[in-house]
Amino acid sequence: MKLSIIMPCYNERETLPKILEKVRNVKLKNNLKKEIILVDDFSTDGTREYIKSLDKEIIKLFHEKNKGKGAAIKSGIKKASGDIIIVQDADLEYEPNDYNKLIEPILEGKAEVVYGSRVLNKKNKKYSHLSFLIGGRLVTFVTNLLFFSRLTDEPTCYKTFKADVIKKIEIEGNRFEWEPEVTAKILKKGIKIHEVPISYFPRKKSEGKKINWKDGVQAIWTLVKYRVRE
């Protein structure tokens, strides 16, 4: 079996080499093979050139204009050949050593979709800004209210899927709204989302964090839209 790791990249020249090394060093359970897919979303800080310089073992995709995180993930999903697919941000907020916890429920046949919850890990004490904390909790609350779910962390980056599940879901959103959209469509299909605790090392906007309050509003609107849409 194989794990496809999709890493959308936009102006992450400083952190990309570090996170890439972490991903490469992870030892997966059951001797799972790793397929690393880097999708550059038209970076302008040298990220694009760095990716081009990497060895052929890494799959490299390049957008000819900036389309957004969702578009990059969709490009990666189309290219992925693994049995399980996970999304990995190119910053250092998430810990690749959590992969085994994320894929274990799928390998054991207990789940088809697994989210890594920052909330469930009580050791995670820090957050980027109070607005991010409140926004994430609000988006999660609205998700549970609309779809009768019991999630603790909907906006998490670590979303893990059986490949045959995520490849059948058509995602329209090209930017950060892909997150609530994929959640909404999975829950509407009656697929339960399993959660496991993960580590989290938040960075501030001054360190390159790109999401903002407008994305939170967009997330809630996206959830409502796909709740009422047939």
CA dihedral 173, 176, 180, 183 (to 10 degrees): 80
Spatial CA neighbour of 88 closest among 7, 4, 202: 7
Q: Name all domains of the chain by residue range, CATH numbers in brackets.
A: 2-228 (3.90.550.10)
Which pLDDT score, from 0 to 100, does residue 176 have?
Answer: 85
CA torsion sign, 125 to 127 to 129 to 131? negative
Helix/strand/coil for 164: helix
Q: Under a CB-based contact definition with an 8 Å cutoff, are residues 37 and 3 in contact?
A: no
Residue 2 has a pLDDT of 98
Please tell me the least confidently modeled range out of 65-69, 74-78, 201-205: 201-205
Min mean pLDDT across 135-149, 177-191, 193-207 is at 193-207
Per-residue tokens: 96: 């690749």
- pLDDT at residue 103 above 70? yes
pLDDT in tens, 2-26: 999 999 999 999 999 999 999 999 9
The pLDDT of 213-230, averaged and rounded, is 86
Q: Quick check: 216 pLDDT over 90?
A: no
DSSP per residue, 51-62: HHTS-TTSEEEE
Q: Going by C-beta distance under 8 Å and a sequence separation of 6 or more, which residues neighbour residue 59?
A: 35, 36, 37, 38, 79
Contact 89, 8 (CB under 8 A): yes
Which of 187 and 175 is assigned the larger pLDDT? 187
Q: What is the DSSP letter of 171?
A: P
- 113 by Cβ neighbours in 10 Å (0-12 / 13-18 / 19+) ranks as buried
> Quick one: pLDDT at residue 132?
65
Comparison of pLDDT for 31 and 193, the residue scoring more: 193
CB atoms inside a 10 Å sphere around CB 193: 21
Read off the pLDDT of each residue in 112-128 and give the average, rounded to a whole number.
Answer: 87
What's the pLDDT at 230? 61
